[in-house]
Amino acid sequence: MPPSGWEHFGDYNDLGGLDGECELCGTAIRYVFPVYHARWGTMEVGEVCCDHLTSSDFATNQMRHVKRRTRFLFSNR
Ligand SMILES: [Zn+2]
């Protein structure tokens, strides 16, 4: 597997629970990030591995938005 040169593509997928599995480290994940490499193809990984593979904070930023939105909804109840 190529250690670098991965790109994230599209939006993350919220499974609604820890029903996914990171294809890199095997961790149970709720938010699935699709990543792509020209020589490897696609994988679905968790937030930490997405950031690691793409050398970015894309996934962390996405999760920051998700958590803020969740807190907002809860505080409105
Ligand atoms: Zn992982």
Distance 77 CA to ligand 1 centre (A): 33
pLDDT in tens, 3-61: 889 999 888 999 999 999 999 999 999 999 999 999 999 999 999 999 999 999 999 99
What's the structural domain count of the chain? 1
Distance 73 CA to ligand 1 centre (A): 28
Alpha helices in 1-77 (DSSP H): 47-54, 58-75
User: In whole angstroms, what is the distance from residue 58 CA to residue 76 CA?
Assistant: 28
Q: Is residue 2 part of a domain?
A: no
Q: Is residue 12 part of a domain?
A: yes
For residue 68, the model assigns a pLDDT of 79
Distance 68 CA to ligand 1 centre (A): 23
Domain that holds residue 55: 7-73
Distance 75 CA to ligand 1 centre (A): 31
pLDDT band at 73 (very low <50, low <70, confident <90, very high): low
Pair type for strands 20-21 and 28-29: antiparallel
Tell if the pTM clears 0.75, that is, is over it.
Answer: yes
Q: Measure Cα distances from 15 to 2, 32, 39 in Å.
A: 27, 8, 28
